[in-house]
Amino acid sequence: MSAPRHTAAFVGFGQSRVFRAAEVPLGELALEATRAALEDAGLRLDQVDGLVCTPDAPFSRGQSADGVEFVSSRHLAGALGIEPAWIEDVSGTIANSTLAAIRAVESGACSYALLFRALHNPASGSYGHTAESRSGEIEISGTDVHQVIEQFRASYGLYPPADGAALPWSQYQARYGRGSREDMAPLVVQARNNGLAYEDGYWARYKPFPLTTEDYLLARMVSRPVSIYDCDLPVQGAGAFVITTAERAADLVDRAAYVHGIADGVPARGKVSVDETLEEQMADNSDIGRRLWADAGCGPGDVQVADLYDGFSIQTVLWMEALGLCEEGAAFDLIRDGHTAPTGKLPINPAGGNLGGGRLHGINHLMDAVQQVTGRAGKRQIDGVDRAVAAVGLGWAAAGFVLGAGPAE
Amino acid sequence: MPGAAAHPPLPTADGNSRAFWDGVQAHSLLIQRCAACTKFQFPPAAACEHCGSAEPAFEEVSGRGVVLSFTETVSGARHPYFQAASPYLVGLVRLDEQEDLVLASNFPGARYDDLCIGAPVEVEFQEVAEGVCIPQFRLAADHEGVR
């Protein structure tokens, strides 16, 4: 009998308070989240010998002061008063730093990895709007690679966040004859309702009201067919996880979330695109899916819940199809028939994801997958969850995870 | 047009794209083509993305393509010019020469309901500021008004 491919397990989760904008320095929220995660795991601070995060702001040039507008691992180590043997900042999203934490534990680089992610939303002005983007000759919308590509899209008013969802969505509609706003409504309405069942989410905490189909259909348009409710709400907050080996997990907690499979995002392409097409997004996501199921030694029929990235509503649909949770072009049939609701045959984002909880990127998705397989999701708990799949992010800043209620075999 | 900005953000050429933008100012759509493997590529780069050969040359293309995707940006534009211009059409065009040659366009003259994916388009050159042109793609004459 061969050794299991994976030996890591999630043993703790913590989330900070969430604010609409930067009322509290981000470093304080990172401390809240990490302390809560350690308490959840029953781990002493002096046992933490690994610390990792993704410090990147979710928009360009939004970060200047460590501990205020972004939080690095070194900043948090100083704030916690620890000197872990392994410490790292990983670019991308929490997807990337979660992979690093799992690998650090499995390779023996550390015994107890504390993983955190803190997301900033400026207190004034509009999200991601910088002085450069308001007045500059060239629109800056992301990383350096975007500065090269902006010359081919800024003059057209092509804005990657919302248009990057609207354009593939328009392709999807043409290709499958599905995906009208009426088709999308149940997914978005359900996301909000699910989010209201997660008490630490933004909507549950501040605006605990369901979204109606009518609200959705009458919503302010951003980039057709993307309305304001197809976009997650930017918030300020932090989440943290404790990851260790399955063996050590048994000494800490009754039930751990065991890593069964992982898959990295696709490597950055040699070429950059003016904007990603449906074909490119599906190819990337499908590639992650293929490697994820191979690594986990199971398939899409073996998971009872899916936590799928939903910075924009269409992204959840693309993940459903790319991971093989349904046939290509069939996601809206499942949504229409209620199968993606908590009572359906494939519940999606029962904690609300980002649409129902606020823009904490993959924190919500990983948290829910961990809690579902450990039976700790409270009123959100789906019956009989043995395995959960989580897909976080997009492109190179994405990853897939399969977590199980028992150790990987 | 009312608004704080007289023109949209203007393209700033880099070393790889200078010939492309010089071509556009002269109303010619120049796309890189590799002498070694004969494949086109866009955006311009220092080497051929297909075979790695250095310095792919620029070649004029037909300027014909199809609508690949489109949206109407209603709110959320960042630049004052586009805030004033909202709602406006924006999307991607796939050139006929090769499947992965994808450029942006505002589809001048079209309304949202006129556009459909796969509709043929033709290049034209729009002067967005004095002496500065960008390529745009207009629904081909034989397609105008077709839903």
pLDDT value, residue A145: 53
Q: How far apart are the first and last CA of chain B?
A: 28
Cα A179 to Cα A261: distance, rounded to the nearest angstrom: 31
- B121 phi/psi in degrees, rounded to 5: -135, 160
pLDDT value, residue B4: 62
Question: Which residues of A lie closer than 8 Å to B, measured between beta carbons?
Answer: 126, 129, 133-134, 136-139, 148-159, 162-163, 166-168, 170-171, 174, 220-226, 270-275, 277-278
Q: What share of chain B is helix, strand, coil (3-state, %, to 5)?
A: 15, 35, 50
Q: Residue B49 corresponds to which tokens in the numbers above?
A: 């993305």
Residue B57 burial (C-beta neighbours within 10 Å; 0-12, 13-18, 19+): exposed
Tens digits of residue pLDDT in A45-76? 999 999 999 998 766 554 478 998 899 999 99
* Rg, Å, chain B Cα set: 16
Number of C-beta neighbours around residue A185 at 10 A: 22
pLDDT value, residue A215: 97
Cis omega before residue A225 (within 30°)?
yes
Q: B81, B88, B90: which to substitute to probe chain A, counting the most A Cβ within 10 Å?
A: B90
User: Helix (H, G, I), strand (E, B), or coil: what is residue B134?
Assistant: strand
pLDDT value, residue A159: 80
Contact A364, A371 (CB under 8 A): no
Written as one letter, the residue type at A298 is C
DSSP B47-113: B-TTT--B-PEEEE---EEEEEEEEEE-S---SHHHHHH-SEEEEEEEETT-TT-EEEE--TT--GG
B78 and A158 within 8 Å at the Cβ level: the answer is: no
Which residue in chain B is spatially nearest to A139 when comparing CA positions? B9
Domain ranges across chain A? 8-124+233-404
Domain ranges across chain B? 14-61, 62-147
Contact A365, A202 (CB under 8 A): no
Q: Residue B139 corresponds to which tokens in the numbers above?
A: 């629904």
Tens digits of residue pLDDT in A163-178? 999 999 999 999 999 9
A155 and B75 within 8 Å at the Cβ level: the answer is: no
Which residue is associated with the tokens 């300020």?
A236
Written as one letter, the residue type at A402 is V
Pairs of CB atoms within 8 A across A/B = 130
pLDDT value, residue A98: 98
Distances (CA, A) of A182 to A111, A113, A213, A398: 49, 44, 8, 29
Distance of CA A311 to the CA centre of its chain: 8
Which residue in chain B is spatially nearest to A173 when comparing CA positions? B117
Cα A216 to Cα A321: distance, rounded to the nearest angstrom: 23
Please count the residues of chain B: 147
CB hemisphere CA count around A363 (13 angstroms): 34
Residues of chain A with pLDDT under 70: 1, 58-63, 124-147, 160, 268-271
B106 vs A contacts (CB less than 8 Å): 156-157
Contact B60, B29 (CB under 8 A): yes
Q: Residue A126 corresponds to which tokens in the numbers above?
A: 């509009």
pLDDT value, residue A40: 98
Contact A51, A73 (CB under 8 A): yes
Alpha-carbon distance A95 to nearest alpha carbon in chain B (angstroms): 27
Contact B9, A137 (CB under 8 A): yes
Tens digits of residue pLDDT in B44-88? 999 998 999 987 999 999 999 999 999 999 998 888 999 999 999
Q: Report, at the CATH architecture level, how domain A8-124+233-404 is classified.
A: 3-Layer(aba) Sandwich (3.40)
Number of C-beta neighbours around residue B45 at 10 A: 16
Cα A243 to Cα A231: distance, rounded to the nearest angstrom: 31
Helices and strands, number each (H, E), in chain B: 2, 8
Cα A79 to Cα A73: distance, rounded to the nearest angstrom: 10
Chain B, 127 to 146: residues with Cβ < 8 Å from chain A are 128, 134
B17 vs A contacts (CB less than 8 Å): 151
CB contact set of A20 (below 8 Å; sequence gap of 6+): A121, A202, A206, A233, A234, A235, A236
pLDDT value, residue A140: 38
Written as one letter, the residue type at A136 is G
Q: Residue A99 corresponds to which tokens in the numbers above?
A: 């992979």
B70 and A170 within 8 Å at the Cβ level: the answer is: yes
Label the pairing between strands A112-119 and A86-89.
unpaired
List b or e across B108-119, with b for residues whose CB sees 16 or more CB atoms inside 10 angstroms: eebeeebbebeb
B88 and A157 within 8 Å at the Cβ level: the answer is: yes
DSSP A130-187: -HHHHH-SS---SSHHHHHHGGGTGGGT--HHHHHHHHHHHHHHHHHS---HHHHHHH
Cis omega before residue A350 (within 30°)?
no
- B62-147 adopts what CATH topology? OB fold (Dihydrolipoamide Acetyltransferase, E2P) (2.40.50)
pLDDT value, residue A269: 65
Q: What is the model's pTM?
A: 0.94
* Rg, Å, chain A Cα set: 20
Look at residues A338, A43, A357 and name the one whose alpha carbon lies nearest to residue A195.
Answer: A357
Residue A228 burial (C-beta neighbours within 10 Å; 0-12, 13-18, 19+): middle
Written as one letter, the residue type at B136 is Q
Tens digits of residue pLDDT in A360-399? 999 999 999 999 999 999 999 999 999 999 999 988 889 9
Cα B90 to Cα A159: distance, rounded to the nearest angstrom: 9
pLDDT value, residue A23: 87
Contact A402, A261 (CB under 8 A): yes
Look at residues A233, A221, A169 and name the one whose alpha carbon lies nearest to residue A195.
Answer: A233
| H or E, element range at B133 | strand B132-139
Chain B, 6 to 65: residues with Cβ < 8 Å from chain A are 8-14, 17, 21, 41, 43, 45, 49
